[in-house]
Structure 1
Amino acid sequence: MPAKKTSRRARLIVIAVVLLLLAGLGGGAYWSVDTVRGSFPQTTGSLKVKGLGSPVDVKRDEHGVPQVYADSADDLFLAQGYVQAQDRFWEMDVRRHTTSGRLSELFGEEQVETDAFLRTLGWRKVAEKEYEQLSGKTKKYLRSYARGVNAYLKDHKGSAASVEYGMLELTGTDYEPEPWDPIDSVAWLKAMAWDLRGNISDEIDRALMSSRLTKKQIEDLYPSYPYDRNKPIVEGGSVNPTTDEFSTSDSSDGQMENRGGTQSPQDAAGGVATQLGGVAEKLDSVPSLLGPNGTGIGSNSWVVSGEYTTTGKPLLANDPHLAPQLPSVWYQMGLHCRQVDASCPFDTAGFTFSGMPGVVIGHNQDISWGFTNLGADVTDLYLQKVSDGKYLYDGKRVPFRSRQETIEVADGASRMITVRETNNGPVISDRDTEIRRVGDEAPVRSAAPDRADGYAVSLRWTALEPSRTMDAVFELNSASNFKEFRKAARDFAVPSQNLTYADTEGNIGYQAPGRIPVRGAGDGRYPAPGWDPRYRWKQDPVPQSALPWEYNPERGYIVTANQAVVDKDSYPYHLTDDWSYGARSQRINDLIHSKIKDGGKISMGDMQTMQMDNSSEIAKLLVPYLLKLDIDDEYVREAQQLLEGWDYTQDADSAPAAYFNAVWRNLLKLAFGDKLPKELRVKGECLNVPPSDESGPLDDLDGNARLVRECGKRDAASAQPDGGDRWFEVVRRLLKDPASDWWKTRNTKTRSGDKNRDELLRHAMKDARWELTAKLGKDIDTWSWGRLHQLTLRNQTIGTEGPGIARWLLNRGPWNLSGGESAVDATGWNAAGGYDVTWVPSMRMVVNLDDFDDSRWINLTGASGHAYNDHYTDQTSLWAKGELLPWAFSDKAVEKATDDKMALTP
């Protein structure tokens, strides 16, 4: 039920006071410590749970990770729902409010626009249709899971469920969670697909760039994938044009007509920069439940054949790169049928999503699998010509399909919005007051601007069509060989992922699944003209039989790290042009090859060491240029000397890594920032360039205060690139052209502009010296990368925007981290905003197919979502140091590792 109206500010103030009292910082606490602990899960003894057919055992290890044992699949998933609700129900409840577009019911007025956008996309409505298409078994498992969650809710109200609900009670908010519904679980797949949706941001950026840059300049900033240097996942192979079957041994040239015949016209986006810029802002405002779409959404997974391992069986590693969240998006768990047979086929363990049954990444008794984001282009923006409440298509005026949505608001009146849809998806430009100005018309103040003439923007996205991805989860969990694995992958429609595979028989493999559109005209790189039927998607997507796969390749290993899947020239279908550029993937390839080239073998320890490799690929390229420069300024020269003899590793205690990354950040700002359109400008922190008078040496600064004051006067808006491996490739090519216009900067009052590459590099080195002096001090011996590159874990509700004291009590950190952007140890940072860690390896695992009990895993935070529980962040410090925990799987190993045992009984 929606929460009763109350002031958002008042609620947050009360929450802050309550948290203070709980922390023992004030007297007269309304709640006792026992009240807070009352929401912690019972982990010993026995509990009666309605709906169980027979007793279920729940065994937890010293980190609170549960292993569940049941006699039937129904009991197994019912118990999974119950146990996940014990640890994470507040998180689950917030997630389902997100996927339903109902955040305003919990958090008030500030979430109305986000809810309106999510209602426009219609995740919940798609999930309802999707549920109806699922197999009978999958529906049964989803219902069992929901019964388990609801059995927990029946006996846990308010503060007994979590401290957050108790806080809502104290503010006078009348909120009680609704029963869990199977569709709540299915809808989570829409959020997963949204955060891994592909190149929509690049599509908007290129269109906005076309207002200021030439086509050649845009292509300079989006270079082609370097197939000659960075290997694709599948080396060789194509599609038989007769059977539409992909084969690594098929040398056929295939048929190329499906790539998209005509480039989407850049001028179709002309004059609609306001709409596209507003759409970009609205996309960014949608809560990223996995991470910010863009360079950070990545992952590493690789598998090595037993021929090259010390165990004689395959080893498989995986570490998905997602936004740091508290609690972690992952929940470790084991799901075991006591008797594995056709009626109860599950004996699996790994990483799950709270709120969804089954295991997403992990292994069962026969196979192991890992995921990385394939990055297929599954979204297209369409510009719609609008007049008289209709849109133009194929020379005719077509009426919009419309529906009304009511948004309930906790601290305000409910809102009514109108959602309009075209034959190319919902109109997303309706959802922002700024982008209701279409064409040259005046703003329209109605809930939906259906009376305005000009342009609108709609979204076509594969995830808005019902699929059977939920079926695929259970099929993966019970697969026993590569044939069954590939069959399961065929149902994994969205998000499109790279699936790595290994089995206990010694086989390794790869499959690219997903619903990937086949375009008519256009290639998805720019918004398309919605009025032209040539730009419609074809009815059928890329055939699943034609998607690339490999099985036991001769080289003996498979690496996926978001690079190109297959050589573009030999593959007939267009997957995307916006791959990650292969910095991480090729580094992993090189590490494996260097280990095995002379007969060496790879161990579990080697796999773990590779996961923590923090070598900077852009530093290897750029540092030789920096060291060749003659630097007159002795203070900059002192910093330059840090790079002499540096091995390019980015350890937390490394001063060279700190200085180089500051140079890289300043280089990007100088070379590209002022040349990009204003619509692409992002708010970032001041780069701390030298004071305008530039008089006096660094020693004249009084504690850097003068420098900081000067920085504070500067405009903090910059169009600075994010610094991902696309920019590695851009700069790589420009370094060969020292006179390129990209190296030239404008004259300012204090200095003449840079005229070539070397002048700009000197400029960047100087600015970096001043910036780090302000941030880390004048003494370069005290500099370290970790002091700049810090991880703070933020509770995803009150911890992100509540009062400072609430954030202090709910959030954790900071941790000084090694690693960096597009390193294998991908503790990413965005050069547009600073050095803080913005995405991370959200978990790490290494699976030993010779002995599952010798496998290792680690989570970013811990099992618990309760802020004061021992398992809230008990894995984080280990994770930060690159350590992995033992991963017990067999009955004997699990029993030995068990600290707490609980029986759930009918």
Structure 2
Amino acid sequence: ACPDFAVSGYSVPGVPGTLHFCHNEYVAWGMTYGSADTQDLFAERFRENADGLEYEFRGAWRPAEILREEIHVRGAASVTSEVVITHHGPIIAGDPRKGQAIAISDPGLIEGTPWADAARDAMRARSVEDLHQAFARWNDRVNNYAVTDVHGCFGYLHEGRIPVREAANGWLAVPGWSGEHEWQGYIPHAELPKAIDPATGYAITCNQRVTGSDYPYYVGLVFSPDYRARRIQTRILELAKGTATPEAMGHIHAERVSLPAQVFTRALLAIEPPDADCVQALDLLRQWDCRMDRDQVQPTIYAQTRALLGYHIAQHLFGDDALTLLAEAGGDAHWRLITLQTTLAIERGDTALLPPGQTWSQALTEALTGALAALKEALGDDMSQWSWGRLHCTRPQHPFSVVFPEAASFLDPPSLPVHGDGDTPLAGSYAFDDFTVTGLSVNRYIFDPSDWTRSRWIAPLGASGHPASPHYADQAQLWADVEFIPQLWDWQEIRDRAETTQHLVPLEG
């Protein structure tokens, strides 16, 4: 709190203010990644002559900007890096001095905004409209915001700068020399996607696509599927009028029914089991409600079978390059697309993803047989002991424990079994070859604008980043159990319950 405003929320270490997941006296907002495509790659042509390094644009040659940065390396000689910049942005691949290279265009690299002022103005906002106007100076990354205020206004905002250009820019590196793919400014702030006080009575954002085909601007190519949003919609519509309490919202946070699991399980139950293990596994799946519960066996069978089927498809599509493609940086995006397209293909009976002549029944039978063999090897012969939580765990690692492995037991927070997967509102995604959780809710929060003292929240670890603090990971088990703690707001209560007090004294002069 300060004379200008009072705010409660999460901050980024070293960055002033609470940027996301917070509320002040009047407005609350929560953030998730907006998935907008704000970066383009441009293939540039270069030449060297007496005037230095130049690049081609619309038949003329322009001087390239060159910066030389010295990077100091501990225990070794310093390294000098040359950064070449065109009007599209800095070169990130290739060698300009050999004639060709790739530049990246990014709103933050080309022209910044006073984003710190946007954060300040957001903390001063007195309404959803004030908040929307504050974010007019927010640059990048583009975010989804769920918003509400004490005046009864609520909805969704898509905030950040998105360049105006053709969708062709989003697929591959485009020719930078032709001038045919230039940015035409940015989508006007007033025209960014939003839904304020929608007639439905609710707004949902789960990283899904937020514009329809009639939206006049290109926003992006790849968004999360709408499975999570649909489950939240179902849960909201099940609420009786007047029962949307913080407790009810907490139950929706814990929602872990998987819609893809419903599609996948129906297809599995239609196969002819080739052996006794498959009979037992299918009997279990027949009793399953498709909840990705850490204490159930069925999620383990489903996830392992789905993974093997996905890898089978990847091998068919990409051959010997499949493992490299999935294991390298960005491979998780390929894997998400493979699993999504697999689910959609199974649902409509389309075998185009499979090797010629193979049916889904055959592919699913092979995947289930292989999955059960792999699970026996990993978890033992007793199928009743294959609970999802034995594989689906968090494994947080402090950055220093890699450098100082002897201190890992002190630095690393505890590993915990958790519910969910990448398709459930209770998020818990993982890589293609391991079920360790790699994607999760960085925090959970429930804001009640009718009475801020009724708000709740929880962090995956704790309120302190110091491994020696008792609050380093004291929220971890509560977070794993999808429970919440009060988000204190009344200053007298905060003073009464405070364990310690810090005084920040400015240096004189």
Same-fold call, TM cutoff 0.5: yes
State the partner residue of 1:409. 73
State the partner residue of 1:841. 441
State the partner residue of 1:470. 116
Cα displacement (A) at 1:605: 1.0
Would the aligned equivalents of 2:263 and 2:346 in 1 still touch at CA under 8 Å?
no
State the partner residue of 2:364. 761
2:270 matches 1:624: no
State the partner residue of 1:372. 32
2:172 matches 1:526: yes
Cα displacement (A) at 1:673: 2.8
2:422 partner amino acid: E
2:28 matches 1:353: no
Alpha-carbon distance change, 892 to 554 in structure 1, aligned in 2, over 3 angstroms: same
Worse-matched range after superposition: 384-393 or 575-584: 384-393
Would the aligned equivalents of 2:40 and 2:169 in 1 still touch at CA under 8 Å?
no
Q: 1:729, 1:862 → 2: CA distance?
A: 34
Cα displacement (A) at 1:649: 0.6
Q: 1:903, 1:720 → 2: CA distance?
A: 44
| Matched residue SS, 1:663 | helix
Which runs of structure 2 are paired with 1:663-682 in the superposition (5 Å)? 663-676=305-318, 681-682=323-324
The structure with more radius of gyration: 1
> Structure 2, unaligned stretches of length 5 or more?
none
Cα displacement (A) at 1:387: 4.5
State the partner residue of 2:104. 459
Q: 2:59 is matched with which residue: 391, 395, 399?
A: 395
2:169 matches 1:566: no
State the partner residue of 1:825. 426
Q: 2:297 is matched with which residue: 655, 658, 662?
A: 655
Identical positions, percent: 26
State the partner residue of 1:547. 192
Q: 2:132, 2:285 → 1: CA distance?
A: 48
Which runs of structure 2 are paired with 1:40-439 in the superposition (5 Å)? 336-337=1-2, 344-360=3-19, 361-388=21-48, 389-430=53-94
State the partner residue of 1:742. 353
Q: 2:130 is matched with which residue: 463, 484, 494?
A: 484
Alpha-carbon distance change, 835 to 531 in structure 1, aligned in 2, over 3 angstroms: same
2:198 matches 1:587: no
Cα displacement (A) at 1:882: 0.8
Alpha-carbon distance change, 477 to 680 in structure 1, aligned in 2, over 3 angstroms: farther
2:228 matches 1:612: no
Cα displacement (A) at 1:518: 0.6
| Matched residue SS, 1:418 | strand
2:18 partner amino acid: V
Alpha-carbon distance change, 535 to 758 in structure 1, aligned in 2, over 3 angstroms: same
Would the aligned equivalents of 1:588 and 1:610 in 2 still touch at CA under 8 Å?
yes
Cα displacement (A) at 1:674: 3.7
Q: 2:348, 2:231 → 1: CA distance?
A: 26
2:147 matches 1:501: yes
Worse-matched range after superposition: 607-616 or 495-504: 495-504
2:216 partner amino acid: P
Would the aligned equivalents of 1:390 and 1:398 in 2 still touch at CA under 8 Å?
yes
1:550 partner amino acid: A
Cα displacement (A) at 1:766: 0.8
State the partner residue of 2:478. 878
Q: 2:361, 2:430 → 1: CA distance?
A: 26
| Matched residue SS, 1:404 | strand
1:574 partner amino acid: Y
| CA deviations over 1:700-757 (Å, ceiling 9, x no partner) | xxxxxxxxxxxxxxxx9xx897643x44541233225656342227xxxxxxxx7222
Q: 2:299, 2:488 → 1: CA distance?
A: 37
Cα displacement (A) at 1:520: 4.9
Q: 1:728, 1:782 → 2: CA distance?
A: 26
Alpha-carbon distance change, 781 to 643 in structure 1, aligned in 2, over 3 angstroms: same
Q: 1:428, 1:678 → 2: CA distance?
A: 27
Alpha-carbon distance change, 452 to 523 in structure 1, aligned in 2, over 3 angstroms: closer
Alpha-carbon distance change, 391 to 629 in structure 1, aligned in 2, over 3 angstroms: same
| Matched residue SS, 1:628 | coil
Cα displacement (A) at 1:803: 4.6
Alpha-carbon distance change, 460 to 767 in structure 1, aligned in 2, over 3 angstroms: same
| Matched residue SS, 2:204 | strand
Alpha-carbon distance change, 607 to 634 in structure 1, aligned in 2, over 3 angstroms: same
Compare relative contact order (CA 8 Å, sep 6+) and give the higher one, 1 or 2: 1
Q: 2:333, 2:463 → 1: CA distance?
A: 36
Q: 1:535, 1:576 → 2: CA distance?
A: 16
Would the aligned equivalents of 1:504 and 1:850 in 2 still touch at CA under 8 Å?
yes
| Matched residue SS, 1:451 | helix
| Matched residue SS, 1:476 | helix
Q: 1:460, 1:677 → 2: CA distance?
A: 33
State the partner residue of 1:577. 221
| CA deviations over 1:627-674 (Å, ceiling 9, x no partner) | 010012222222222211100011111100001000110110011234
> Structure 1, unaligned stretches of length 5 or more?
1-335, 338-343, 431-448, 686-715, 746-753
Worse-matched range after superposition: 494-503 or 522-531: 522-531
Cα displacement (A) at 1:592: 0.4
Would the aligned equivalents of 2:156 and 2:204 in 1 still touch at CA under 8 Å?
no
Q: 2:256, 2:162 → 1: CA distance?
A: 33
| Matched residue SS, 2:384 | helix
1:559 partner amino acid: I
Would the aligned equivalents of 2:66 and 2:84 in 1 still touch at CA under 8 Å?
yes
Q: 1:512, 1:684 → 2: CA distance?
A: 30
State the partner residue of 2:395. 792
Q: 1:556, 1:452 → 2: CA distance?
A: 59
Cα displacement (A) at 1:807: 2.2
2:39 partner amino acid: T
Q: 1:805 is matched with which residue: 392, 402, 406?
A: 406
Please report the RMSD computed on the Cα atoms of aligned residues, expressed in angstroms: 2.3
Cα displacement (A) at 1:451: 2.9
Q: 1:889, 1:583 → 2: CA distance?
A: 34
2:191 partner amino acid: A
Q: 1:566, 1:684 → 2: CA distance?
A: 29
| Matched residue SS, 1:522 | helix
| Matched residue SS, 1:676 | helix
The alignment covers a number of residue pairs equal to 498
| CA deviations over 1:48-73 (Å, ceiling 9, x no partner) | xxxxxxxxxxxxxxxxxxxxxxxxxx
Alpha-carbon distance change, 792 to 739 in structure 1, aligned in 2, over 3 angstroms: closer
Q: 1:669, 1:535 → 2: CA distance?
A: 36
Q: 1:779 is matched with which residue: 362, 382, 406?
A: 382
